[in-house]
Amino acid sequence: MHNIIDTAVEAGSFKTLAAAVTAAGLVDTLNGADVKISTEGGVKLNGTSTVTKTDIECTNGVIHVIDTVILPA
């Protein structure tokens, strides 16, 4: 099992995300901001992003694919 970045790169569809996270120095640390999760009409984050794939297990967490980028406020 790989960590989140290795899993994202290996999947092939997250290369831009992995490069951006690595370039920004976020591989080891995240900002810790809260995310609002709703289950009405599917699983939504912050009212706008929809979860499209779930439970991709990694050594340092779990990936859930969403259809938009969530930016810190």
Tens-place pLDDT, residues 37-66 = 999 889 999 888 999 999 999 898 898 899
Q: In what order do the strands lie in the sheet with 37-38?
A: 37-38, 44-45, 49-58, 61-66
**Rg of the chain taking only CA atoms, in angstroms:** 13
Banded model confidence at residue 1, pLDDT cuts 50, 70, 90: confident
pTM, full prediction? 0.61
Cβ–Cβ under 8 Å, residues 46 and 34: no
Domains of the chain, by residue range, sit at 4-66
